[in-house]
C-alpha cells in the first residue's frame, strides 16, 4: 500500500523545514502534501521545495475537517497520514510504526503517542502522559459500555487512516474542532477497529495561556453541542479522574504548579459549559470566545 502525508499549515516557518526533511528521511517513503492557509512567512517557499504537492487556500476558508478532506481527495496513498505542522517524528521509523497495524489488517485508524519536548511545563507534561500513555490499545465498539467516549479518542496531530473506510463514512465533517474524534466514532460505530499506537511517537505539546485554553475548551463544548449524539456514550468519570491524577502527580513532582493547575481546570470546565450552551450567547461574541472568527459566519 502507498502512503500519503497531509499537513495543514499556517505560518509554519518555525517548524516546516525540519518537519519536511524528517519526513523525507523516514523508512517509509510517502507522498507529502501541504495545504496552506495563505501563510505570510516562509512556509510556502520551503514547502514548494520539499513537498510533493502544495495547495494554497484562503485563510478564511480553513476548517479542521473540510481542509483535511481536500488533502484526502488529492492524495494518492491507500493510507493517508494527517500530521500537524508542529509535530515532529521521534525517529526515522515513526511512519513505519504508525501504519504497521493498518498494513497488518488489524485496524483502519492508528494514532501516535505524543512526547512533550524538554522544558514543557509540568501541567502539560501530565496532560500528554495522561492522554497518551506508554501502552498501545486496540479499540472497538464492544468497549463503549465500559469506557464510554474514551473509546473514540483520536488525534490528527499524527494519525494514519485507511483511505477507503474514511471515504465510506464521508471523510471529515465541517466542525469547529475535534474532527478526529468524530471520524473515530463513526468508524468504530460502523464496526471497524482503531488503535492508539504508543509505538509510534511524535514530539508535540501545547502550552496555551489561560485565554487560549478557554477558547479551545469553549470550541470543544461547541463541538459536543452540535454533535449531541456523542454525549449518549458518556465520559465515565474521565474528567474527575484526570483532575485527581493531575493533583497527585504535581504534588509529588512539581507542587509549585498546583495552584496554576487548579485554575487551568476551572478554565477548562467553564469553557466546556459555555461552549455547550453557545446558542444562548450573543452571536457576535462567539468568534472571540472560540478563536475561530469564520466558523460562525452565516
Q: Is the pLDDT of residue 87 over 70?
A: yes
Query: From the DSSP assignment, how many helices (H) and strands (E) are in the chain?
Result: 12, 9
Burial class (CB in 10 A: 0-12, 13-18, 19+), 229: exposed
Q: What is the mean pLDDT of residues 212-234?
A: 95
Alpha helices in the chain (DSSP H): 16-24, 43-50, 64-74, 94-103, 122-131, 144-147, 163-168, 179-189, 210-226, 238-253, 258-276, 286-290
Rounded Cα distance between 173 and 153, Å, is 16
* 274 CB-near residues (< 8 Å, 6+ apart): 218, 221, 281, 289
Q: What is the pLDDT of residue 108?
A: 98
40-67 pLDDT tens trace: 999 999 999 999 999 999 999 999 999 9
Bridging pattern class, strands 53-56 and 79-83: unpaired
Split at pLDDT 50, 70, 90, the class of 238 is confident
Bridging pattern class, strands 137-139 and 53-56: unpaired
Q: What is the mean pLDDT of residues 259-278?
A: 97
Q: What is the mean pLDDT of residues 12-20?
A: 96
Which of 177, 191, 175, 179 has the alpha carbon at shortest distance from 108?
A: 191
Rounded Cα distance between 195 and 137, Å, is 6
* 140 CB-near residues (< 8 Å, 6+ apart): 151, 188, 191, 192, 193, 194
Q: Is the pLDDT of residue 94 over 70?
A: yes
120-142 pLDDT tens trace: 999 999 999 999 999 999 999 99
Q: What is the pLDDT of residue 236?
A: 65
Residues paired with 33 in a beta bridge: 6, 53
Please give the share of the chain, as a percent, with pLDDT higher than 70.
99
Which of 38, 35, 109 has the alpha carbon at shortest distance from 67?
A: 35
Split at pLDDT 50, 70, 90, the class of 237 is confident
191-212 pLDDT tens trace: 999 999 999 999 999 999 999 9
C-alpha 267: how far from chain center? 20
Amino acid at each position: 500500500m502507498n502512503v500519503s502525508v497531509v499537513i495543514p499549515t499556517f505560518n509554519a516557518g518555525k517548524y516546516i523545514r525540519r518537519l519536511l526533511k524528517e519526513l523525507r528521511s523516514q523508512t517509509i517513503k510517502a507522498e507529502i502534501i501541504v495545504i496552506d492557509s495563505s501563510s505570510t512567512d516562509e512556509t510556502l517557499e520551503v514547502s514548494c521545495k520539499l513537498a510533493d504537492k502544495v495547495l494554497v487556500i484562503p485563510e478564511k476558508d480553513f476548517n479542521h475537517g473540510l481542509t483535511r478532506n481536500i488533502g484526502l481527495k488529492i492524495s494518492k496513498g491507500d493510507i493517508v497520514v494527517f500530521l500537524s505542522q508542529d509535530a515532529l517524528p521521534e525517529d526515522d521509523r515513526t511512519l513505519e510504526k504508525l501504519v504497521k497495524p493498518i498494513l497488518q489488517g488489524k485496524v483502519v485508524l492508528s494514532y501516535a503517542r505524543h512526547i512533550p519536548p524538554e522544558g514543557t511545563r509540568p501541567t502539560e507534561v501530565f496532560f500528554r502522559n495522561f492522554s497518551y500513555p506508554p501502552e498501545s490499545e486496540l479499540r472497538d465498539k464492544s468497549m463503549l459500555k465500559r469506557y464510554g467516549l474514551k473509546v473514540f479518542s483520536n488525534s490528527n496531530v499524527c494519525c494514519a487512516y485507511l483511505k477507503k473506510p474514511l471515504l465510506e463514512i464521508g471523510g471529515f465533517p465541517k466542525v469547529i474542532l475535534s474532527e478526529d474524534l468524530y471520524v473515530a466514532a463513526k468508524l468504530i460505530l460502523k464496526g471497524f477497529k482503531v488503535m492508539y499506537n504508543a509505538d509510534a511517537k511524535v514530539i508535540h505539546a501545547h502550552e496555551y495561556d489561560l485565554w487560549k485554553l478557554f477558547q479551545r475548551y469553549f470550541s470543544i463544548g461547541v463541538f459536543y453541542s452540535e454533535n449531541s449524539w456523542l454525549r449518549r456514550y458518556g465520559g465515565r468519570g474521565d474528567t474527575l479522574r484526570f483532575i485527581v491524577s493531575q493533583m497527585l502527580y504535581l504534588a509529588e513532582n512539581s507542587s509549585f504548579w498546583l495552584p496554576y493547575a487548579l485554575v487551568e481546570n476551572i478554565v477548562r470546565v467553564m469553557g466546556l459549559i459555555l461552549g455547550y450552551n453557545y446558542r444562548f450567547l450573543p452571536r457576535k461574541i462567539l468568534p472571540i470566545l472560540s478563536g475561530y472568527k469564520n466558523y460562525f459566519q452565516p
